[in-house]
Amino acid sequence: MGLKLEKLKARKIYNSRGEETIEVDAWVNGAFGRAAAPAGKSKGGKEVMYYPEGGVDEAVRLVNSELAAKLRGLDVSNHEALDEALKKFDGTENFRRLGGNTAFAVSLAVAIAAANTTGKPLYEHLRIVDSFRLPYPLGNVIGGGAHAGRGAPDWQEMLVSPIGARNVEEAVKANILVHARAGKLLDKYLGGFTLGRGDEGAYAPPIKTEDGIRLLKQAADEISDELGFKIRVGVDVAASSLWNPKKRRYVYPTEGIELDREAQMSRVAEWVDKYELFYVEDPLEEDDMEGFADLCKQVGKRALICGDDLIVTNPSILSRAAELRAIRAVIIKPNQVGLLTTAMKSVKIAHENGIVPVISHRSGEPPEGHLAQLAVAWGGKFLKAGVIGGERIAKANELLRIGENIGVEKMVELRI
């Protein structure tokens, strides 16, 4: 007996930024699944369209009045059959008709319902790995760029990950302790700080990028000493948001400077060494694949150069990056491509080429933990899901629950 999709229902809800998003309920063989779509603020230019013309309201209408009837009775034992049906219904290259977020919410809701028919967790239903391991949490502690306001750091995220932790409980706790310590150091450095936060629960202080990195490294080193294992610092430059194509320069509004391509690469390389950065995401603008490859040659043995806007979870772009050895890690955001199976294809390509998969949230998130399930299902080495805030903690808490099932000490093997 197959797994029959019996019913779909969509509605409009709100994400962690208070933006409208779509939520979908699905019933498969009597079992229920529910999922909502996230939304990014610094979107890659090659991502699929989030919603059709008419926005979330039109997406909800399409699901309830057309798509639900079209898919009713579909055998979803093989998840690819569902995703192919969604692609066929949309009929465009970039989900212009249905919306990538709509497709993602349907795809995930049905997968959850299908898993629930057997009583298995989602990570077992969507597994692509032989054995399950727990990813290291990677979280934004000090934010800037598109996630913060005027006067905040120019680079978008200053991150920590407890890559020396012996188990997932230590790992989750470590990031929370670093977040708290960083707040105290910022308050002291600025002579009083309201501890205001940006979209992802990271502090958004009025400081320059390098000062933020330095203070975060101090916080990470102090907590490392107290806990007895290494916590490392990384960054998401989100360089496309700094890039001015007319000037051909990276414009830093807080610092009041402009850097050409070579100067940008030199700055990244200098700070990798100076602050022992283990992870650098999107250090260059999203169309500079060759620049990524050059930077990988320079610092790739010391830090994971990671592509997000460069790759947008797209399998064909990732394959090209692998050929050029342009990256050592890749961000996986399923809603960038609209379908779970397309994201899974990218993860498989990453594994085949020794590229580290980083399963990632978006800045606007629903308050649930499904992303942690996907990270374990797909062999993600990192779960990038923030540190503080209900929608971020939900992912960390889900990781702790999964640890109860597979063993809290079953952390992934990681080589930086």
Q: Which pLDDT value is given to residue 1?
A: 62
302: domain CATH number?
A: 3.20.20.120
Residues 143 and 114 in one domain: no
Residues 172 and 105 in one domain: no
Contacts (Cβ under 8 Å, ≥6 apart) of 382: 135, 136, 137, 138, 161, 329, 356, 357, 358, 359, 375
Q: Is residue 232 part of a domain?
A: yes
Q: Which helix (H) or strand (E) holds 400?
A: helix 390-406
User: Does the pLDDT at position 40 exceed 90?
Assistant: no
Residue whose C-alpha is closest to residue 285's, from 251, 318, 255 = 251
pLDDT in tens, 120-151: 999 999 999 999 999 999 999 999 987 677 88
**235: helix, strand or coil:** strand
Residues 85 and 148 in one domain: no
Q: Is residue 124 part of a domain?
A: no
Contacts (Cβ under 8 Å, ≥6 apart) of 406: 132, 133, 134, 376
Q: Is residue 196 part of a domain?
A: yes
Residues 32 and 153 in one domain: no
Residues 51 and 115 in one domain: yes
Among 119, 154, 180, identify where a domain stops: 119
| CA–CA gap between residue 177 and residue 169 (Å, rounded) | 12
Which residue of the set 23, 157, 200, 365 is catalytic? 200
| CA–CA gap between residue 411 and residue 257 (Å, rounded) | 42
- Average pLDDT score, the chain: 95
84: domain CATH number?
A: 3.30.390.10
Which residue of the set 87, 333, 381, 384 is catalytic? 333
pLDDT in tens, 9-31: 999 999 998 999 999 999 999 99
| CA–CA gap between residue 382 and residue 231 (Å, rounded) | 14
- The yes-or-no answer on residue 87 being catalytic is no
Contact criterion met (CB below 8 Å) for 272 and 303 = yes
Q: What's the rounded mean pLDDT across residues 52-59? A: 97
Q: Is residue 125 part of a domain?
A: no
Residues 292 and 267 in one domain: yes
- Residues shown for the chain: 416
Contact criterion met (CB below 8 Å) for 276 and 268 = no
Determine which of 48-52, 144-148, 236-240 has the lowest per-residue pLDDT on average: 144-148
Residues 205 and 297 in one domain: yes
Q: Is residue 415 part of a domain?
A: no
67 pLDDT tier (thresholds 50, 70, 90):
very high
User: Does the pLDDT at position 42 exceed 70?
Assistant: no
pLDDT in tens, 321-346: 999 999 999 999 999 999 999 999 99
Higher pLDDT, 88 or 200: 88
Token pair 């962690």 is found at: 16
Among 84, 119, 154, identify where a domain stops: 119
Residues 102 and 202 in one domain: no
Task: Please give the residue range of the domain that contains residue 353.
Answer: 136-406
Q: What's the rounded mean pLDDT across residues 270-281? A: 98
- The fraction of the chain above a pLDDT of 70, given in percent, is 98
Q: Is residue 413 part of a domain?
A: no
Residue 251, token pair as written in the block: 């414009």
Q: Is residue 411 part of a domain?
A: no
Residues 147 and 265 in one domain: yes
Q: What's the rounded mean pLDDT across residues 224-249? A: 97
Residues 216 and 326 in one domain: yes
- The yes-or-no answer on residue 200 being catalytic is yes
Residues 247 and 198 in one domain: yes
| CA–CA gap between residue 106 and residue 293 (Å, rounded) | 36
Residues 255 and 345 in one domain: yes
Residue 319, token pair as written in the block: 């394959």
How many distinct structural domains can be found in the chain? 2
